[in-house]
Amino acid sequence: MGAGHAHALYVHEHSAIHNMAPEVKLVATFLFVIAVAVTPRQAIWAFAVYASLLALITLVSRVKPGFLVVRLAAVVPFVLFALLIPFVAGGETVEVLGLTVSREGLWGAWNVLAKATLGAGASILLAATTEISEMLRGMSILKVPPALTAIAMFMVRYLVLVSGELARMRTAMTARGYDPRWLWQAKPLAASAGALFIRSYERGERVHAAMVARGFTGEMPDLGGRRGSRSDWIRAAGLVAVAVTVASFALVFS
């Protein structure tokens, strides 16, 4: 993973969040998502506090709110699913905007919508403030199994390569006057997909052979880098402590 492979979610800034060690941000994000997940759905105030924490981190990290909102489109399938729950769930019914819906379904829809949005927002902020290479290094520092780290690294790298190869194949087809858009034109696309798979597989074998020839043993070398300082852990612990405290109060009093 070279430094030139910045991913589309990363926002190049020099904020306090960007400068934090990757392992600190990974732990903080994981604990925040756990706190959100265990919060009872009735504790609406708790979700408001979580949203405020994300807004504060967005402000400190200098990530534009529009950037975050656009990337939250990833939760649209969950939103669509959540909108169906009030109409298919059973139990007591209530009338909302002239529609008769399930009260339990409304709570279920709120639960899915709130937790999916907050979890996705935290993940997007993590990706926006941490380069992939740094994130993988943080995983190694946290003693994530090397096989998983290597798989994640190669997956990200080859997604870029395969996407580029697919774009070149599509350009070549268009340059030859063929631009399939309909279902009955799927045969050439299927043939292209097969060729792309074979090329990717062969490239993977060549890359693996080259790495083994250079002494690769299944674990990527540690190229060094900044480790989490005491101040990093203290700042992250403060944010996580707020989330955990809110989740605890919500569990006890809801």
How much of the chain is in helix, strand and coil states, percent to nearest 5? 75, 5, 25
120 and 42, same domain (yes or no) = yes
CA distance 158 to 160: 5
132 and 184, same domain (yes or no) = no
Residue 150, domain extent:
145-213
The domain tally of the chain equals 2
Output 240 or 208, whichever has higher pLDDT: 240
pLDDT the model gives residue 153? 77
Residue 1 within a domain: no
Residue 9 within a domain: no
203 and 231, same domain (yes or no) = no
70 and 169, same domain (yes or no) = no
120 and 239, same domain (yes or no) = yes
56 and 98, same domain (yes or no) = yes
- SS3 state of residue 93: strand
123 and 58, same domain (yes or no) = yes
71 and 185, same domain (yes or no) = no
Round the average pLDDT of the chain to a whole number and report it. Answer: 84
Residue 46 within a domain: yes
81 and 153, same domain (yes or no) = no
pLDDT the model gives residue 7? 65
CA distance 111 to 78: 11
pLDDT confidence band for 244 (50 / 70 / 90): very high
Mean pLDDT comparison of 35-44, 160-169, 195-204, highest-scoring range: 35-44
What's the whole-number mean pLDDT along residues 225-241? 85
Give 51-110 pLDDT, tens digit per residue.
999 999 999 999 998 888 888 888 888 788 888 888 877 777 777 777 778 888 888 889
Residue 53 within a domain: yes
Provide the β-strand partners of residue 96: 99
